[in-house]
DNA sequence: CAATCTGATTGCATTTTGCAATCAGTTGCA
DNA sequence: TGCAACTGATTGCAAAATGCAATCAGATTG
């Protein structure tokens, strides 16, 4: 940690000005992207939701550290929850919302080459098949949720997250019916 | 490190079967993707080329460790160099070649949000503008280079790597002419 | 007023990382 | 023949990151 990064208080190495290197310096660790994944696809906004909801079992000190770091890097913001004076709501910034295409490509690649489970990869499959139009719809929904942007969705259309959720539930239900398959 | 990963000798945690998580377990570190970037975009094939050529200055023990790991994960293969009995040539596998879209998206995102330098981001810009057709052409070229696949390129067309290199050289030349801009 | 829930923080042992130095075998050249 | 340079690594060591368990104080609920 040596050079000041942008105008924020976070410092990162800046080993080089290569975009791939700089991106790696932002999420080249085992947890940052997992947290963002849970916020983007799981809709989690609170510390406890992220702590207990994650399949991978992040430790609370690491979660606290990464949330702080992601805020300093400009990927998250934090606000008070009106319903509970100690509760904080974390929001994605535009910078984080535009990670959706990267998440989609990562998911698509992992689905092909790594030992994914069916119920957890159905979402990646849907996202891949939907392509950039679906990614854009999803990003618009996230802007509505997290940035208060006006919703562009025609009323009555299911949200992308609902579609992903429905596909997941369907696989889980099918697997429960036919446990041997 | 607990569970055996695929059929290889490498073991990784398998914290969950989520494709994004598994992808992160493959390159959720600061060096693996840098090495693959230098092989894909820089055309590097030897230990020394990777060691001395990288802008970020990887240490030799880390390079050795990551090359071994990437081989065990199925992203690289190693072969003897006929010209030198101690020299090894590293090749990308299909698994690694299909990272091109991820690299392109990472580069595009980093170019927008991080303090990249112009000469290092021109390639990301070109790759973004070229879109999937250019990515596919590039992947075909890599298959030809690394897997011995027949070349699909019409004779006389510049390779994608040549195009990227030319764009980089142009920026460097322009900046040398007008150092104040 | 006690139990529970909130978002953390602390201490500590283990693991991973990164730098510097070093290694033995191979090659090129005088 | 001899020796320097180059090959792909390996080793030792200090520093940093990680992960677990315990703990915290304030807010809310029953």
Cβ separation of A109 and B19 shorter than 8 Å?
Answer: yes
In this structure, CATH architecture of domain B30-95: Orthogonal Bundle (1.10)
Report how far residue A46's alpha carbon sits from residue B165's, in angstroms, rounded to the nearest whole number.
46
Question: Which one, of A120, A93, A91, lies nearest residue A107 by Cα?
Answer: A120
Domain A3-96 grouped into CATH 1.10.10.10: yes
Q: Which nucleotides of C are covered by protein (CB under 7 A)?
A: 5-11, 16-22, 25-27
Whole-number distance in Å between A48 CA and C1 C1'? 26
Rounded CA Rg of chain A = 18
Minimal-distance CA residue of chain A relative to B103: A20
Question: Do residues B102 and B110 lie in contact, with contact meaning Cβ atoms separated by under 8 Å?
Answer: no
The answer to whether A20 and B125 are in contact (CB under 8 A) is no
Residue-by-residue pLDDT tens, chain B, 181 positions? 322 343 333 445 567 889 998 998 888 888 899 999 999 999 999 999 998 877 888 888 888 988 998 998 899 999 988 888 888 899 999 999 999 999 999 999 999 999 999 999 999 999 999 999 999 999 999 999 999 999 988 888 899 999 999 999 999 999 888 766 5
- Residue A176 CB neighbours (<10 A): 8
CA A51 to chain centre: 14
| B33 shares contact with chain A (CB less than 8 Å) | yes
SS3 state at A88: strand
State how far the alpha carbon of B143 is from the alpha carbons of A76, A92, B49, B118, in Å. Answer: 39, 38, 20, 29
Q: How many CB atoms lie within 10 A of CB A96?
A: 22
Residue keyed to tokens 């990562």: A106
Q: What integer is the mean pLDDT of A153-157?
A: 86
* Each residue's pLDDT tens digit, A93-146: 999 999 999 999 999 999 999 999 999 999 999 999 999 999 999 999 999 999
- Where is pLDDT greater, at B179 or A63? A63
Nearest CB neighbour to A30, from listed B24, B34, B57: B24
**CA atom of B30 to C1′ atom of D19, Å:** 20
- Residue A180, pLDDT score: 65
H helices of B74-117, where? Answer: 94-97, 100-113
Cα diameter, chain A:
56
CB spacing of B15 vs A55 below 8 angstroms: yes
Distance, Å, A86 CA → C3 C1': 18
**Distance between start and end Cα atoms, chain B:** 50
DSSP code, position A77: E
Q: Which two tokens stand for residue A97?
A: 């919302």
> Where is average pLDDT lowest: A52-56, A66-70, A77-81?
A52-56
CB atoms within 10 A of CB A73: 23
> Which token pair is A45?
């906004």
- The CB density around residue B71, as the number of other CB atoms within 10 Å, is 17
- Pairing relationship of beta strands A3-4 and A11-12 according to DSSP bridges: antiparallel
Query: Residue A23 and residue B114: Cβ atoms within 8 Å?
Result: yes
User: Domain-by-domain residue ranges, chain B?
Assistant: 30-95, 98-177
């Amino acid at each position: 940690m040596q050079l000041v990064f942008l105008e924020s208080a976070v410092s990162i190495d800046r080993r080089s000005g290569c975009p791939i290197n700089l991106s790696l310096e932002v999420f080249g660790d085992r947890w940052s992207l997992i947290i963002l994944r849970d916020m983007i696809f799981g809709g989690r906004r609170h510390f406890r939701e992220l702590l207990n909801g994650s399949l991978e079992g992040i430790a609370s000190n690491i979660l606290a550290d990464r949330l702080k770091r992601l805020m300093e890097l400009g990927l998250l913001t934090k606000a008070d929850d009106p319903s509970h004076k100690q509760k904080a709501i974390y929001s994605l910034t535009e910078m984080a919302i535009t990670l959706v295409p990267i998440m989609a490509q990562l998911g698509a690649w992992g689905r092909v080459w790594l030992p994914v489970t069916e119920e957890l990869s159905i979402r990646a499959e849907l996202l891949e098949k939907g392509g950039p139009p679906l990614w854009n719809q999803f990003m618009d929904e996230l802007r509505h949720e997290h940035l208060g942007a006006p919703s562009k969705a025609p009323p009555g259309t299911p949200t992308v997250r609902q579609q992903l959720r429905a596909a997941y539930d369907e696989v889980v239900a099918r697997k429960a019916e036919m446990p041997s398959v």
